Structure 1
Amino acid sequence: MTAVSSSLMHRFKRTSLVTQIVIGLIAGIVLAWLAPDVAKSTAFIGKVFVSALKAVAPILVFVLVMASIANHKHGQETHIRPILFLYLLGTFAAAVVAVIASTLFPSSLVLSAQDVAVTAPGGISEVLQSLLLSVVDNPVRALMDGNFIGILAWAIGMGIAIRHAGETTRTVLEDLSNGVTVIVRLVIRFAPLGIFGLVASTLATSGFGALLGYLHLLTVLIGCMLFVALVVNPLIVFWKLRRNPFPLVLTCLRESGITAFFTRSSAANIPVNLELSKRLGLHEDTYSVSIPLGATINMAGAAITITVLTLAAVHTLGIVVDVPTAVLLSVVAAICACGASGVAGGSLLLIPLACSLFGIPSEIAMQVVAVGFIIGVLQDSAETALNSSTDVLFTAAACLGEEERARRTA
């Protein structure tokens, strides 16, 4: 019996992490179906896993970015600018796709007098002010609150300052970065168990019965996200690499999107994306900055959510949308999406900003936010999966594209 157990354990260890996650996913579904009461008790396992990822992500980003900049050698090429361009292009393209889909397949909402006990930002200027305040946040508070804009700002500043320090100091910082990376890999190894707990408890507790009333709206939302993930993003990657983009696209969706779908947190998925970037052979000086930055500003899924729900409210109220207004909505949705992570409640609380373009009062706009919370089990999961997997995809596309161009011109 011991020999059989040892053999099974050895075989399990040799199985890829993605396969182990799929096994955990299937096991969670089966447990929720056969023993829902037992499945509810697995929520603690999922919470521990997500909490561990969220706990390690801020210190990992701070140390890794600081070490990368401090040890950056003159003449080494980084590709942050093309990655930023791809982030912005992808987010705007996603908003355009959402506008087109909402026009072709308009959704209607059942709006009532229900109020939502949350506070949305008063305008785009407030969102931008919030981002600026995040940049100058206290570094200790930024680490405690998971404010990645503030963490990046301090990490970059400290990294530049330490570049002028002695070789010993930079070596210690590099060793510290390697030590934190080891801890991150240990946490990620528990992903199959964490996914099992998240899936089992979610299906047993929530189910999907409450989502049936919003099936059309969910179909438009998820359809837009799938279209962006499987059509728009591959086209952008093909434009950058000039070769078949799907091996890279599917790798990012499989190894980053799956965990992001169930953790529902871009911040929690940062360690996963950093590990994937390393396995893809990308330059550490680049991905150590672009991945946490993407978790903040690369928000194609958020742009889709803001646009689709806003146009659903517009269609419900019988408001006519012309082409210039649709283009303006795409721009506003892209800008709002970039600020989504800096606002409590994420992308849903930025819907009133977009609704204000059409003169929709905040009382009605907040009812749309309430609808977003109802369908959040699927909407937020799919949104996070698209956002997070695209961080790695565009980082890899920019890095590989620039390397290919350098080889051609050499």
Structure 2
Amino acid sequence: MKLIVRLLAGIVAGVIIGLLVPQAGVIEALARLLVTFKSIFGEFISFTIPLIILFYIMSGVANLQQGSGRALGSTVGFAYLSTIVAGSLAFFMASTFIPGMVELGSQAASEGGGLKPILVLHIPPVMGVMTALVMAFAFGMGISATGGSELKTVVDQAKDIVELMLSKVLIPGLPFYIAGVFAEMAVDGTVFSTLKTFGVVLMLAIVMHWIWLSILYFSTGALTGRNPLSMLRNMIPAYLTAVGTMSSAATIPVTVRQAKANGIDDNVVDFAVPLCATIHLSGSAITLTTCATAVMLLTGLAEPTYAMILPFLLMLGVTLIAAPGAPGGAVMASLGLLTSMLGFGESAIALMIALYMAQDSFGTACNVTGDGAIAALVERFGRTAEEPMASAILPEGQEG
């Protein structure tokens, strides 16, 4: 919550500085410093993206515990399907309602706007996004299959270094980065239309979370013979806990307790809920898809179509498996896909980060609430009567 306050302060400071630029030379110098920081910090984000994908996904795949095969496969399958369908529904809702609510293309001139950085520094990434993704899965599955403990230790330590870089450099620097972005927009005259869009998109994302949870629980109720309203009511404490903690992992004890209150087998809950805290991110997919659609319309980047969004969603469902545990980890993990598959530039990325972080707690709450429905489906379809349930262990530091 402190980070959200800092981000909001960064937005306000950036807007004020940008609006005052024409009146004062000192303010213009400050604005140029902010834009310089934004430029260099943006390069650092681009450098970090492949490292996040490489080490987090490699470590996440290598650390997936070997539970009973059918239960593990069913849990992963239901979670992945939920994420893709939720994201698809979010796209259709966003592409239907957002065009009538925002000024389309109003942000198109923001890339390379009126303020110029004092210094331009290029930091090329060590590899491309798709190279990092393929390498992560190839080596992650290889480590899991061969039990390569030494290589696994190296990968986990590298992931810890990247996580330290995220928590000590990237996340603390985001408010200043966002301030630079909004200072640029204020100078260009596009800031107020952008802020109006922020409110529309955030409200639409939260409404979509509850629409999806209703669909998920009513479908689960029909398939398992349970009362969906009763199931949803029992999961409310998990939702509220996640809003406060902004972490699926921190909410696991409450999610487990409430899922068991729905009458789901204890062994199934103990297996499925910790695993879903890592791999089930339907709320995050809804927000990312809604925000990406809005940013594409707002910037005039491209006319979003489902043919464009579906491949992005299919890759997003895989990439989010190992989203970093820091606040906003899902959006940080998705940046590579946004740039490589949807063509997002620096300003579009900054808008995505600001939009996502503003509602991170609600996306996480949707994720964990949906975990109760996934556990019920796994109990119904995910194992044979003779098949024992193994304990699922959440890789350290994961976010939902």
Please report the TM-score for the alignment, with normalisation by the length of structure 2: 0.54
Q: Which ranges in structure 2 are unaligned for 5 or more consecutive residues?
A: 1-63, 118-122, 145-150, 163-193, 386-400
Once the two structures are superposed, the pairs formed by residues 8-407 of structure 1 within 5 Å of their partners are 79-106=71-98, 110=107, 122-124=128-130, 126-127=132-133, 129=135, 137-138=152-153, 214-230=198-214, 232-252=215-235, 254-318=236-300, 319-341=302-324, 345-349=328-332, 350-361=334-345, 363-372=346-355, 376-377=357-358, 379-400=359-380
Shift in CA distance, 292/243, structure 1 to aligned 2, threshold 3 Å = closer
CA distance, structure 2, for counterparts of residue 315 and residue 360 of structure 1: 12
Determine if contact 1:95/1:333 at 8 Å carries over to the other structure: no
Question: Given residue 316 of structure 2, which amino acid in structure 1 is its aligned partner?
Answer: A
CA distance, structure 2, for counterparts of residue 284 and residue 314 of structure 1: 44
1:138 deviation in Å? 3.7
| Alignment match, 1:156 | none
Determine if contact 1:98/1:304 at 8 Å carries over to the other structure: yes
CA distance, structure 1, for counterparts of residue 92 and residue 86 of structure 2: 10
Count of aligned pairs between the two proteins: 264
Shift in CA distance, 367/287, structure 1 to aligned 2, threshold 3 Å = same
1:258 counterpart SS class: helix
Determine if contact 2:273/2:375 at 8 Å carries over to the other structure: yes
CA distance, structure 2, for counterparts of residue 310 and residue 397 of structure 1: 30
CA distance, structure 1, for counterparts of residue 321 and residue 124 of structure 2: 19
Shift in CA distance, 391/345, structure 1 to aligned 2, threshold 3 Å = same
1:289 deviation in Å? 2.4
**Identity across the alignment (%):** 21
1:308 deviation in Å? 1.6
1:298 deviation in Å? 0.2
1:321 counterpart SS class: coil
1:268 counterpart SS class: helix
Determine if contact 1:307/1:354 at 8 Å carries over to the other structure: no
1:105 counterpart SS class: helix
Shift in CA distance, 119/238, structure 1 to aligned 2, threshold 3 Å = farther
1:273-299: CA deviation from partner (whole Å, max 9, x where unpaired): 223344444334332221111111100
Determine if contact 1:256/1:385 at 8 Å carries over to the other structure: yes
1:227 deviation in Å? 1.2
Determine if contact 1:305/1:348 at 8 Å carries over to the other structure: no
Determine if contact 2:252/2:273 at 8 Å carries over to the other structure: yes
Question: Given residue 380 of structure 1, which amino acid in structure 2 is its aligned partner?
Answer: D
CA distance, structure 1, for counterparts of residue 75 and residue 291 of structure 2: 28
1:245 deviation in Å? 1.9
Question: Given residue 356 of structure 1, which amino acid in structure 2 is its aligned partner?
Answer: S
1:213 deviation in Å? 6.7
CA distance, structure 2, for counterparts of residue 125 and residue 102 of structure 1: 31
1:288 counterpart SS class: helix
Determine if contact 2:209/2:283 at 8 Å carries over to the other structure: yes
Tell me how large the CA RMSD over aligned residues is.
4.2
CA distance, structure 2, for counterparts of residue 77 and residue 370 of structure 1: 37
Determine if contact 2:292/2:352 at 8 Å carries over to the other structure: no
1:91 deviation in Å? 0.6
Question: Given residue 226 of structure 1, which amino acid in structure 2 is its aligned partner?
Answer: W
Question: Given residue 225 of structure 1, which amino acid in structure 2 is its aligned partner?
Answer: H
CA distance, structure 1, for counterparts of residue 326 and residue 134 of structure 2: 10
Determine if contact 2:87/2:285 at 8 Å carries over to the other structure: yes
Question: Given residue 77 of structure 2, which amino acid in structure 1 is its aligned partner?
Answer: F
1:346 deviation in Å? 1.0
Determine if contact 2:234/2:261 at 8 Å carries over to the other structure: no
CA distance, structure 2, for counterparts of residue 129 and residue 292 of structure 1: 26
1:211 deviation in Å? 7.7
Shift in CA distance, 119/283, structure 1 to aligned 2, threshold 3 Å = farther
1:320 counterpart SS class: coil
CA distance, structure 2, for counterparts of residue 315 and residue 213 of structure 1: 10
Determine if contact 2:239/2:365 at 8 Å carries over to the other structure: yes
